[in-house]
Structure 1
């Protein structure tokens, strides 16, 4: 049967069914093209031609960033499908590299910069690598002495037929710079002297170092006084005013925005150690108009209630930070009731990666063990502690070492009910085992040297058990039995090993073994063992865990976790 000429003309005049073209390209470029190309429905022949022309332009631009300078792009019909076929062609590689650094550089440093160039001859050309190599060269110049360094010229000459890209970079170092005086702006409430107290890195007359500017910015940003901080050298790129030795002094601009000096916060949470809690805290960073920091608040937990007030002073010329504080506390943990009042003073100082804390403290403590008479312990103590941390990310325990040592004691001759000297050592280390696995080891040793535990506050004795100690046993349930209560002993030993496998970047699974105890006779120490499995979550505040642990001594399973919800 034959169609009439009129019917054939009508069929040809009907629009073709709209279709979305499918990409056909080698694997090495398909993912990039799929990510950046926008495909829409193509309905007829004119639309197909326009689409093909647009794809030829866009594909060429995209592939050029990966070193493909002669692609072939065509749109064709394949059955009922439209295919956008892309052949990227041969990839170009780096031919020659010419780097020139204009300026008065030491020959050794000039040679070091040339050796560190990140895009050598023979490597495939990628626009991202080219940009990164140029910026890395400039960053190395800017980091030390040459604050006005810049890229004067950068050129990539492409020869598609030879599949070759020749690179040329000309950088200008400019003069060497020294730090001048600090020029501080944005202060309304605080004085410039406060900024100087946190400045341990930028000293007028010293050679410019970018890392020292960053150190000052981080130090100021980490205080309670400022919400934003910018620190930069106010250099003039066209300046020729150098001293006789060729150096230029430039002021350091410190731009600040002050934080509100008052903050009221509330929170709630739950811990398997001390139960549900609610808390309220108030902070002032300008107490009495003297830039003193006040931290005060109350915390109500099921097993413990605390009220506190601490005042911290700005650092002195030697970067020592002093503070005074007081606290009252009531707790009832493992049938041991405690009412405590304490007042004290501390001094905090940083020595590189070591934090040192000195303190003097007086406290009075009423101890009420269930089934045993109540007693009162008073102590005036001197305390000394060090914490050393070495970790790439302080919130990630998978890699890093932490070592903590505490010494402290009191004497009957100085307002204490007992002569004692307390020592405590805590060690933890994370060892990565590839990208998804890690080991974590932790250990504690503590000894309080004293004729007996009588008259010593519980803070200077030891108990074990709970989510951060020996899992599988209740919080502070491992210790010395007195009546129906568990009280502190003079000796502590705990050890823990944990293996974690991260299923994805957010969630992981762990297995662990803990052992430890606190006793009053070191000859009778008997480690309680707990082991189990757990889940790990990488939260913004650091990994949080839920552990199901079996306490071998008691033959019971126990769930350990800690989760807080601020609001």
Structure 2
């Protein structure tokens, strides 16, 4: 056995230069330790290989095994193993004992850097190489010692005093005094420092020097960051390239560029978000240009590529209840008059009904966050619940506020001819429909986190035909929570509570009553069949309804997923749920096939406390998650 003397990862304070150099390498542009390690160690492995290739004393290669010993946290040991040249090159045995020793020495250097990046500044590394056995045994025993904590974090501006609103200390760059002095938060703090300066008029700020001094006796690190804030700059002119059918005046009005204000790098992110939100552009490039000589204004150039204005969509679904097969065909124009106006036409058909609807939206109505919306729908239906021939329309204002809120409100009109139980009624209704939505979901078709809450209220009154008046209220809440960061497991839940205030159920038009049951409601029960039934077991609808849905969504592969779910619900004759009838529950399994346009859904559900009129199971196929 050949034993080498121990090597320490932290030197006396008088000889801190190597330690600081290692930490400097760790702090050059890498936010994650894994990225730091790749930059630090990639070239060293190549150099080691070259040294072995020219070894003049080479005889037979020396195969070896590597052991990393010591009481190490699992995460730290994984970092050390990933950085090890001995492990990475084990399949290429060195040509001599000297070459093997060089590999060991290289690993000691790498391990020192990794240990310091994880705040182990007083670690000890003992190595031994036993060539008396085959293969040779290389052992690196590591005593990590205590982790050092951040004692001070000083930001020094040179030349001159710090500019207005400049970060001055640890808390201003997201650090807390007393945390472990690992590389990741220190790197992120430097990035935050430059970002904050760029947000307040100093986009050319740069680091002059970073100095980290470890105190072995106190087990702390003191940091000093010297920064040149650079000249104060202002927002310059905005140049827009690439427009074809979208009017430049609309884009300029949309982005609200403030030339002459103090430069703020967040403005570039803001206009990118605004332009992306229009869905008019497939490519958005935003670049800062060099200011003219002697100027303090930074010009910005926006290069755009317009999306195709028109699109056609096709959809289909199937359910084993009376809806059966259904299909949908849509056409959309996203830039009708050059200012982002959209028109969507859609036709749907199923075994029980057909409908045609049109939706028009004009953005930027008096305000960038405000739009005019108008909907018209013609529908014919012949179902077990009722027969319907109707036309309905709505026109209103849509306004977004804060980050995730939206409200839509406006007058509504309904003209309907309805037949139920042999009785025919004609309605001409006017109303005021309003909807408030809060939405933080990360994806509309396949969310993995966030919530969506909606509250809708619409009072209606007859102006001709059968006389009635009532108020429809619906509240829904859906939430999504990743159980692991990757999003492989997602717990999803949804609840709905609906109510109609009116004299009685019979005074509410049958097509506007509340129903539950079916693929988008309570799976396992036929379409609209929960709640009151007539003598022929046809649904009558009600004045209040409750729905509850819970799903565990599991991503098996990139394209396949599995869902287990429990649904429940009930419809009541009263204005508010009385719960005198138990909720009808169902459970089921589903498969998901993920595509570029959303997941394909295959669900099978079984009633848990079904009635005599309920089938043993229901099967559903459609596009998109159930909720």
Q: TM-score range by the shorter chain?
A: 0.7 to 0.9
- Once residues 516 and 547 of structure 2 are traced to their aligned partners in structure 1, the CA distance between those partners, rounded to angstroms, is 11
Q: What is the correspondence of 1:276-355 to structure 2 with a 5 Å cutoff?
A: 276-287=325-336, 291-319=340-368, 320-352=370-402, 353-355=404-406
Secondary structure of 1:31's aligned partner: helix
What's the offset of the Cα at 1:536? 7.8
The structural deviation recorded for 1:554 is: 0.9
Does 2:268 align with 1:221? Answer: no
Q: Distance in 2 between matches of 1:203 and 1:527?
A: 61
2:392 & 2:182 partners in 1: Cα distance? 65
Deviation per CA, 1:127-165: give whole Å up to 9, x if none. 334322211222333334444433233244679999876
8 Å CA contact 2:600, 2:623 repeated in 1: no
Counterpart contact for 2:546–2:577, Cα < 8 Å: no
Higher strand share: 1
TM-score (norm 1): 0.76
How far apart, CA to CA, are the structure 1 residues paired with 2:183 and 2:575?
70
Q: What SS does structure 1 have at the residue aligned with 2:188? A: helix
Cα distance in 2 for partners of 1:127, 1:145 equals 28
Whether the 8 Å contact between 2:371 and 2:399 is mirrored in structure 1 is yes
1:466 alignment partner, SS class: coil
- Measured in 2, the distance between the counterparts of 1:173 and 1:164 equals 28
Rounded Cα–Cα distance in structure 2 between residues aligned with 1:80 and 1:332: 84
Shift of 1:344: 4.2
Distance 1:485 1:304, change over 3 A: farther
| Residues 1:442 and 2:442 are matched in the alignment | no
Change (3 A) 1:108 1:270: same
The total of aligned residue pairs comes to 538
Deviation at 1:424, TM superposition (A): 1.0
1:517-567 per-residue CA deviation (whole Å, 9 max, x = no partner) reads: 14377799854512344558897969979574535351655457664279x
State whether residues 470 and 494 of structure 1, in contact with CA within 8 Å, keep that contact through their aligned partners in structure 2: no
Matched residue, 2:304: 256
CA-atom RMSD in angstroms: 4.6
Please list, as runs of the form range in 1=range in 2, the aligned pairs for 1:441-460 lying within 5 A after superposition.
442-449=495-502, 453=506, 456=509, 458=511, 460=512
Task: Identify the residue that residue 564 of structure 1 maps to in structure 2.
Answer: 623
CA deviations on 1:67-94 (whole Å, 9 max, x unpaired) are 1677455554474444442234556735
Q: Deviations over 1:359-408 (max 9, x none)?
A: 44444444354x62555444344422222346688765765461412224
Once the two structures are TM-superposed, the CA of residue 488 in structure 1 deviates from its matched residue by 5.7
1:85 corresponds, among 139, 156, 159, to 139
Query: SS at 1:151's partner residue?
Result: strand
2:78 is aligned with 1:31: yes
In 2, Cα distance between equivalents of 1:214 and 1:401: 25
Give, in angstroms, the shift of residue 421 of structure 1. 3.5
Provide the secondary structure at the position in 2 that maps to 1:21.
Answer: strand
Report the alpha carbon displacement of residue 167 of structure 1 after superposing the two structures with TM: 3.4
Matched, 1:53 2:102: yes
CA distance 1:147–1:106, shift in 2 (3 Å):
closer
Q: Which residue is 2:530 aligned to? A: 478
Give 3-state SS (helix, strand or coil) of 1:356's partner. strand
1:152 aligned residue: 208
Task: Report if aligned partners of 2:462, 2:469 keep a CA contact under 8 Å in 1.
Answer: yes
1:406-454 CA distance string (max 9 Å, x none)? 2242431xx5654423231314264979878968462413214367645
Give me the whole-angstrom Cα distance separating, in 1, the residues matched to 2:275 and 2:136: 60
Q: 1:99 aligns with which of 139, 143, 155?
A: 155
| 2:462 paired residue number | 411
- For the 8 Å contact 2:470–2:508, the answer to whether it is kept is no
The change in CA–CA distance for 1:481 and 1:154 in structure 2 (over 3 A counts) is: same
Please say if residues 304 and 329 of structure 1, whose CA atoms lie closer than 8 Å, have aligned partners that are also in contact.
yes
Do residues 550 (structure 1) and 602 (structure 2) align?
no
Return the alpha-carbon distance in structure 1 between the equivalents of residues 555 and 244 of structure 2: 51
Describe the shift of the 1:108–1:417 C-alpha distance in structure 2 as closer, same or farther (beyond 3 A): same
- Alignment-derived partner of residue 12 in structure 1: none
Kindly indicate whether the alpha-carbon contact (under 8 Å) linking 2:442 and 2:448 is maintained by their aligned counterparts in 1: no
**What's the offset of the Cα at 1:226?**
0.8
Name the CA distance, whole Å, in 2 between partners of 1:303 and 1:89. Answer: 75
Q: 1:131 to 1:151 in 2, by over 3 A?
A: same
Does 2:520 match 1:464? no
Task: Please say if 1:516 is aligned against 2:564.
Answer: no
Q: Report the CA distance shift for 1:501/1:222 in structure 2 as closer, same or farther (over 3 A).
A: closer
